[in-house]
Amino acid sequence: MTISQRDFAEQVVRQLTDAGFTALWAGGCVRDLLVGREPKDYDVATSARPEQVREVFGKRRTLSVGESFGVIVVLGPKSAGQVEVATFRTDGNYLDGRRPESVVFSSPEEDAQRRDFTINGMFYDPLKKEVMDFVGGEQDLAAGVLRAIGDPHARMEEDKLRMLRAVRFAATFDFELDVATADAVRSMSDQISVVSAERVAQELRRMLVDSHRSRAIELCHDVGLLLRIIPELEAVVSDRDSWTRLQNGLASLVKPDFALAFGLLLDSVIGAAKEAGTNDFRLAEVVGRRLKLSNHEIDATAWLLSQRRSLDNAADLPLSRLKRILANTRAPDLIALVRARTLAESEPPADADFCEQYLKNTDREVLDPSPLISGDDLIKAGFRPGPKFKELLDRVRDAQLDLQISEAAEAMELAAQLVHDDK
């Protein structure tokens, strides 16, 4: 019998309750349920100590991933995944701006006070179908406000990443950022530098793939975080037209992956600084390495930037050039980048439309046919390898893509003619 994670999370609460402990769903899953979203995962908070949780579920069904912080993972059926179970606690001092030096096990009321934002600080009893709210989360959810629990400066001091999380939650839920919370972030935005690049990048990924990415970037700038993370954007934010185009372009993207949205962000930098001779590929490399993005993300972004103007006047491009570009697996993203930039400039997306239709109406074997000849074929025919060997093959390939030749014999004949003409 297949069991969902939600059902499994309810079973975890029931089993802990039957064993005499208090157990509640906690944090983000409660928030998502209250706004009608399906939670990605479920967390349980309990009065049971870590060792007691392991006794209830058995050592074979549990993992001690953070026992010193009161966190035990309970393993469920394959269809249900796993559920984190954390003991109610209060945190000690945060000496590194990331995690508490120590914890003290406590009550639900005290546990709620240590959490970041009111909308993330609620509990829910799935057995009684009751919300337990000690921080005003329900009220803020109803009002559409993202507010830090207690003193916003203290919450941000504890974990500097919360500054970016404040922006992300406010943007993705389309909430207003509480004035005091925003002021706290603004006053200490320079301290985002203590957060690891990996954690910053993860927040940036979540912002940029969300449909509210434009507002997230705007909020990031408003509270002083954007240029701390990507200082290369200074030329963009300081120019009203460039900034407006970036906002409009980001808003126009439809379900982009991170590389596409990030590519559009950096595309605006190149557009604003084009007279400075910005190296397209180098920009992706520099910013990507600083944020410790994956090689795949950097390479994908770099390709988009290197090809950012390659589809200009697409209908007039030689077939060989157009096909080489559109045969790339990331061509749909390049078209989306071109479309977003064009729409941001309030111009009709003619190039994007043409390329999209060409891809749709062109079979793969026409777009990217197998080469008619290879280097080995040329060597067997007596051609001498040398510095221009690749150029020769490329010229023959262009003729094939331009539909000037379609047989191997024609390709060999053309190669011989090209060599003769170059003498």
The whole-chain average pLDDT of the chain stands at: 92
Using CA atoms, how far residue 64 sits from 67, 86, 99, in Å, is: 5, 11, 18
- Low-confidence winner among 241-255, 269-283, 318-332, 345-359 (lowest mean pLDDT): 269-283
Is this structure's pTM higher than 0.75? yes
Reply yes or no on whether the pLDDT at 91 is more than 50: yes
Token code pair at residue 287:
């910013």
Mean pLDDT for 155-161 is 94
Q: Confidence band (pLDDT; 50, 70, 90) for 70?
A: confident
Reply yes or no on whether the pLDDT at 98 is more than 60: no
Residue that has been written with the tokens 């061509």 in this structure: 331
Cα separation, 42 vs 64, in Å, equals 17
DSSP class of residue 95? S
CB 121 within 8 A of CB 135: yes
Say what the pLDDT of residue 421 is: 80
Say what the pLDDT of residue 276 is: 46
Closest to 275 in 3D by CA, of 242, 299, 300, 304:
242
Q: Confidence band (pLDDT; 50, 70, 90) for 102?
A: low
Reply yes or no on whether the pLDDT at 277 is more than 70: no
CB 147 within 8 A of CB 130: no
CB 299 within 8 A of CB 267: no
Q: Could you give the percent of the chain with pLDDT greater than 90?
A: 86
CB 308 within 8 A of CB 392: no
* DSSP string over 62-94: EEEEEGGGTEEEEE--TTT-EEEEEE-EEE---
